[in-house]
């Protein structure tokens, strides 16, 4: 059982020498971005604890195994929060949140995961303990390895400690469902958004199945989170009326939203330009019904052009290929977070370019960390 | 001119035309310094390509001949990043095209030589703006901003350059063109765009930049609070941040700065007897904005502000900002040279560090003026001096070094937005362990195995040697 950085580093160094693959495990609740990766488990989830938290600085430093709940509890005591809401089950760790950089609805107003990370301590593939960034909110000292490790799924190093930016909790924080006439096209339903004087904390389009699963509505609808001072929030609630019928729901619906993907679901993020949002959404929905995925849990961050799909798919392998390859419309990008093992062969590697492969070789020369994640193929890295 | 230099000149001339290769001593002096006083270096040649293809052709030629190069934007950098000691300077000032502005998706595709302020002007008819606003915005280039990860007063709410770049096309040091990030979707794979931003010209040349734009806020309110002690002003900063209101900007100026500004043509009506003034700005939806203004005003008064003034119209606002934006200019007029320093401390350490800086300045008999991004804890202690006086220079450098160490000891960092360049190289080992620096070197080698791109900057060379020795099995 590893409980210190030195022990974790020693385990990696040993694995480096013997070229033995390691699978980095945080809370163990997480998604997979590649073929189920094999290797001895390196348990970072046991390396827990908040190392530094000075509320006045609005920054916090925690060991990688610290859960998001533990951070939420510590910061709430001072009226603050870490505005990261990845799709995650209870027990998800801060290290994995940053390693996967999977954004939730709050990214709309608060920025993405990469925008919240200030510093990282990380064990490279040779077992060296390195740091980048720091604890302050602005920092350009040295090359930005913080951004490099954020979203690298532990393939360039094992994140052992992170410093993040916190925010003070807004005075008012409320959630609303906005429902409008189903017979009208999505474009015309969303059109009024462009001129609406609102500045929401989050704004998501929910598929009917997702709205039903959340218990907020029985058809496709908008889920909006408004925060700030009371005057501003009240004015925005009124403005929302231009979009349809407005109903207040508990703000905890947003927590439920991040825990909904059913066991065994396939999860993908399809993204394109915001102006293409309706087209992207329609493509995804049509593709899901053509693939006989009924009741898919789909939500869209309209202003960011991202559609997130969680769907159960029970066809055989030949159909699986069509399902995976056809998820994104032409010009859009797709990032798969969960797929059955058979599905990964249809996902092109996102790290096969010259620079990415060079980085992998530089930081993990024996190629031991989380092999197979990010769609990386064995041949590509061995070159 | 020796034969190899002549042959290089000829080959570069073939790519860009004779007019855009500078080799005469008189021409090179324009490129022998940047915004960092007291340092000079003479480039071997200066070449000014006129297109992405010409940039790549130039870089390929230099790669074939094993010649080091330094990318250069406007040369406003304050850490010596574009100084070229016998390297070839690749000036990007001719690359000033704005290829496209996509108002619907709030993104613009620009060349690296586009000046920050001209981008702002070009997008304003669409009701949009580009958020990072370094005080040098009238001159500095978007390419230079990307290379330094530049900030500015409004970064408190909106973030630094990193948070506003969607994608880049980069000419690697061997001349290959690669794309990082995505201008049309989410990025997948490693965040190479984020890694490149702030790489100070060491990872190659950004030839195309896709910047994100923001809608111009519906309304803006600007306040000026004045205090009879710096500590009170710093307390007000903490109180404001703690309310949950994120001001668009929260800037502090101390008495020496106030007096320099008020004695200059940029006089903004700051009270000259105040120990410090705080310039705060909130923006966004008009509704509810006055509530935020009242909260901020109360925070200032509770912390001991003598007076809080709220700008009544745009002209008044512009005047309050003029003093802040031109503060470096005003300070620069006091003496022949001005060191503009840059360091960051945790926000709660502001009162302590300001007192320490004051004490250090007094001990070395130098006049330190502080004008800085208080909301971020990003300090700019500035010293006006005469760099031709060796004794004075010596004292200034010694004082600066102590100030840097005080910031490191307070849990801070040696640069928040100006970069390491040459100036801060010596502090890198105080901040990072040998394995951390070695990891940075190994990442640099992925981009530039021959270390020809802006050599000798950012990471001390000997840190890299140690890495090669100890970690290559
Ligand atoms: C009065 C004054 C006020 C300032 N205020 C601020 C401020 O508020 N905030 C702030 O952050 N900075 C500030 N600066 C510093 C400076 O303006 C910024 O660092 C700016 O980003 C530099 O841009 P430049 O075009 O002048 O780059 P240069 O000085 O020419 O180059 C800077 C670095 O970038 C590299 N580079 C340039 N272009 C490219 C490219 N296309 N691809 C790769 N590398 C490239 C160079 O090699 C060099 O290392 C200020 C400077 C002055 C003089």
Q: Is the CB of B205 under 6 A from ligand 1?
A: yes
Flag if B195 and A274 touch (Cβ within 8 Å): no
| pTM assigned to the model | 0.96
How far apart are the CA of B201 and the centre of ligand 1, in A?
Answer: 11
Q: Is residue A368 included in any domain, yes or no?
A: no
Instruction: Name the β-bridge partners of A311.
Output: A266
Q: What is the pLDDT along chain B (473 residues), one digit of tens a residue?
A: 789 999 999 999 999 999 999 999 999 999 999 988 888 999 999 999 999 999 999 999 999 999 999 999 999 999 999 999 999 999 999 999 999 999 999 999 999 999 999 999 999 999 999 999 999 999 999 999 999 999 999 999 999 999 999 999 999 999 999 999 999 999 989 999 999 999 999 999 999 999 999 999 999 999 999 999 999 999 999 999 988 899 999 999 999 999 999 999 999 999 999 999 999 999 999 999 999 999 999 999 999 999 999 999 999 999 999 999 889 888 888 888 898 899 999 999 999 999 999 999 999 999 999 999 999 999 999 998 998 899 999 999 999 999 999 999 999 999 999 999 999 999 999 999 999 999 999 999 999 999 999 999 999 988 775 444 333 33
How far apart are the CA of B160 and the centre of ligand 1, in A?
Answer: 13
A282 and A239 both lie in a single domain:
no
Q: Is residue A240 included in any domain, yes or no?
A: yes
Provide the number of CB pairs (under 8 Å) joining chain A to chain B. Answer: 245
**DSSP state string for A8-24:** HHHHHHHHHHHT--EEE
Contact between B116 and B133 (Cβ < 8 Å): yes
Residue B64's Cβ-count burial label (10 Å; 0-12, 13-18, 19+) is: exposed
Count up the domains in chain A and report the number: 3
CATH number of the domain to which A298 belongs:
3.30.70
- Containing structural domain, residue A201: 172-257
Residues B453 and B449: their CA atoms lie apart, in Å, by 10
A303 and chain B in contact, CB less than 8 A? no
A21 and A91 both lie in a single domain:
yes
Query: For B412, which of A136, A151, A332 is closest by C-beta distance?
Result: A136
Q: Is residue A94 included in any domain, yes or no?
A: yes
Looking at residue B466, what is its pLDDT? 47
A305 and A162 both lie in a single domain:
no
Q: Is residue A369 included in any domain, yes or no?
A: no
pLDDT at A379 over 50: no
A245 and A287 both lie in a single domain:
no
A131 and chain B in contact, CB less than 8 A? yes
Contact between A192 and A268 (Cβ < 8 Å): no
Q: Is residue A127 included in any domain, yes or no?
A: yes
Last residue of some domain: A206, A223, A257? A257
Q: What share of chain A is helix, strand, coil (3-state, %, to 5)?
A: 35, 25, 40
Contact between B220 and B283 (Cβ < 8 Å): yes
Residues B239 and B302: their CA atoms lie apart, in Å, by 9
A198 and A305 both lie in a single domain:
no
Q: Which residue of B190, B285, B294 to mutate against A (max A Cβ within 10 Å)? A: B190
Looking at residue A39, what is its pLDDT? 86
Looking at residue A381, what is its pLDDT? 42
Looking at residue B471, what is its pLDDT? 38
How far apart are the CA of B148 and the centre of ligand 1, in A?
Answer: 6
- Write b or e for each residue in A124-152: b if 16 or more Cβ atoms lie within 10 A of its Cβ, otherwise e: bbbbbbbbbbbbbbbbbbbbbbbbbbbbb
| Cα distance between the two ends of chain A | 34
A113 and A160 both lie in a single domain:
yes
Which among A259, A45, A72 has a CA at the least distance from the CA of A154? A45
A224 and A277 both lie in a single domain:
no
Q: Is residue A243 included in any domain, yes or no?
A: yes
Looking at residue B467, what is its pLDDT? 43
Which residue does chain B place closest to A374, by CA atoms?
A: B189
A181 and A307 both lie in a single domain:
no
Q: Is residue A376 included in any domain, yes or no?
A: no
A119 and A185 both lie in a single domain:
no
Domains and CATH numbers, chain B: 3-91 (3.30.43.10), 98-215 (3.30.465.10), 217-327 (3.30.70.2190), 335-422 (3.30.70.2740), 432-464 (no CATH)
Does the ipTM exceed 0.85? Answer: yes
Q: How many C-beta neighbours within 10 Å does residue B430 have?
A: 12
Last residue of some domain: A209, A237, A257? A257
Which residue does chain A place closest to B241, by CA atoms?
A: A168
CATH number of the domain to which A250 belongs:
3.30.70.2190
The four Cα atoms A382, A6, A57, A173 give a dihedral, to 10 degrees, of 60
Looking at residue A344, what is its pLDDT? 85
A160 and A184 both lie in a single domain:
no
Which residue does chain B place closest to A139, by CA atoms?
A: B416
A155 and A178 both lie in a single domain:
no
A168 and chain B in contact, CB less than 8 A? yes
Q: What is the mean pLDDT of chain A?
A: 91
Q: For chain A, give me the number of helices (H) and strands (E)? A: 14, 17
Which among B217, B223, B237 has a CA at the least distance from the CA of B283? B217
Chain A residues closer than 8 Å to B438 by CB: 128, 130
Q: Is the CB of B332 under 6 A from ligand 1?
A: no
A86 and A158 both lie in a single domain:
yes
Last residue of some domain: A153, A168, A183? A168
Q: Is residue A367 included in any domain, yes or no?
A: no
């Amino acid at each position: 059982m590893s409980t210190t950085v030195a022990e974790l580093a020693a385990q990696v160094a040993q694995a480096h020498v013997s070229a033995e693959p390691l699978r980095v495990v945080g809370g163990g609740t997480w998604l997979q971005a590649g073929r189920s990766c094999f290797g001895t488990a390196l348990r970072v989830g046991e390396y827990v604890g908040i190392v530094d938290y000075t509320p006045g600085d609005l920054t916090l430093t925690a060991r990688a195994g610290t859960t998001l709940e533990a951070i939420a509890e510590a910061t709430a005591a001072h009226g603050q929060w870490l505005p990261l809401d990845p799709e995650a089950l209870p027990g998800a760790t801060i290290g994995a949140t940053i390693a996967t950089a999977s954004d939730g609805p709050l990214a709309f107003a608060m920025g993405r995961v990469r925008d919240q990370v200030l510093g990282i301590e990380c064990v490279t593939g040779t077992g060296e303990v390195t740091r980048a960034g720091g604890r302050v909110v602005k920092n350009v000292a040295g090359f930005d390895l913080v951004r490099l490790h954020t979203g690298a799924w532990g393939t360039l190093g094992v994140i052992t400690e992170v410093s993040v930016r916190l925010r003070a909790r807004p005075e008012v924080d409320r959630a609303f469902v906005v429902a409008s006439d189903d017979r009208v096209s999505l474009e015309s339903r969303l059109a009024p958004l462009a001129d609406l004087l609102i500045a929401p904390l989050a704004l998501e389009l929910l598929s009917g199945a997702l709205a039903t699963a959340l218990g907020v509505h029985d058809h496709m609808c908008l889920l909006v989170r408004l925060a700030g001072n009371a005057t501003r929030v009240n004015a925005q609630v009124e403005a929302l009326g231009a979009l349809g019928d407005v109903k207040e729901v508990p703000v905890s619906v947003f927590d439920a939203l991040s825990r909904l993907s059913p066991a065994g679901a396939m999860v993908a993020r399809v993204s394109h330009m915001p102006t293409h949002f309706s087209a992207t959404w329609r493509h995804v929905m049509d593709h899901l019904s053509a693939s006989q995925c009924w009741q898919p849990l789909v939500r869209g961050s309209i202003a960011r052009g991202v559609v997130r799909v969680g769907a159960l798919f029970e066809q055989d392998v030949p159909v699986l290929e069509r399902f995976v390859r056809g998820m994104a419309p032409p010009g859009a990008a797709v990032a798969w977070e969960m797929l059955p093992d058979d599905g990964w062969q249809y996902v092109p590697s996102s790290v096969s370019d010259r620079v990415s492969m060079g980085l992998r070789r530089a930081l993990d020369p024996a190629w031991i960390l989380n092999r197979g994640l990010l769609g990386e193929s064995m041949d590509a890295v061995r070159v | 001119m020796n034969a190899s230099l002549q042959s290089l000149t000829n080959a570069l001339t073939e790519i860009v035309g004779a007019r855009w290769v500078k080799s005469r001593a008189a021409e090179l002096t324009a490129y022998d310094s940047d915004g960092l006083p007291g340092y000079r270096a003479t480039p071997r040649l200066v070449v000014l390509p006129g297109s992405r293809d010409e940039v790549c052709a130039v870089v390929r030629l230099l790669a074939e001949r094993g010649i080091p190069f330094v990318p250069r934007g406007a040369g406003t950098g304050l850490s010596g990043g574009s100084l070229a000691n016998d390297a070839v300077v690749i000036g990007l000032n001719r690359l000033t095209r704005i290829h496209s502005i996509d108002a619907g998706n709030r993104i613009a595709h620009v060349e690296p030589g586009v000046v920050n302020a001209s981008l702002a002007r070009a997008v304003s008819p669409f009701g949009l703006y580009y958020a990072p606003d370094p005080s040098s915005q009238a001159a500095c280039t978007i390419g230079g901003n990307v290379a330094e990860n530049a900030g500015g007063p409004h970064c408190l709410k909106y973030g630094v350059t990193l948070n506003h770049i969607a994608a880049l096309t980069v000419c690697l040091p061997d001349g290959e063109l690669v794309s990082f990030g995505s201008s049309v979707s989410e990025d997948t794979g490693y965040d190479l765009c984020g890694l490149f931003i702030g790489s100070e010209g060491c990872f190659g040349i950004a030839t195309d930049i896709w910047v994100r734009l923001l809608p111009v806020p519906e309304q803006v309110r600007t306040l000026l609070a004045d205090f009879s002690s710096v500590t009170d002003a710093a307390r007000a900063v903490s109180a404001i941040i703690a309310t949950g209101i994120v001001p668009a900007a929260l800037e502090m100026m101390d008495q020496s700065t106030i007096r320099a500004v008020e004695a200059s043509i940029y006089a903004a009506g700051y009270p000259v007897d105040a120990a410090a003034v705080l310039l705060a700005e909130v923006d966004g939806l008009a509704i509810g904005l006055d509530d935020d203004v009242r909260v901020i005003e109360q925070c200032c008064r509770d912390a001991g502000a003598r007076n809080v003034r709220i700008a009544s119209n745009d002209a008044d606002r512009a005047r309050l900002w003029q003093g802040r934006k031109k503060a470096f200019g005003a300070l620069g007029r006091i003496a022949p040279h001005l060191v503009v320093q840059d360091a960051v401390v945790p926000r709660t350490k502001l009162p302590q560090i300001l007192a320490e800086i004051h004490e250090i300045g007094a001990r070395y008999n130098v006049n330190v003026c502080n004008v800085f991004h208080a909301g971020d804890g990003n300090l700019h202690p500035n010293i006006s001096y005469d760099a031709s006086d060796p004794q004075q220079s010596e004292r200034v450098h010694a004082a600066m070094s102590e100030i840097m160490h005080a910031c490191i000891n307070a849990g801070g960092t040696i640069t928040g937005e100006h970069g390491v360049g040459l100036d801060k190289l010596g502090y890198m080992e105080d901040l990072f362990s040998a394995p951390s620096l070695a990891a940075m070197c190994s990442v640099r080698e992925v981009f530039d195995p021959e270390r020809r791109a802006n050599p000798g900057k950012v990471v001390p060379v000997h840190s890299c040697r140690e890495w090669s020795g100890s970690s290559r099995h």
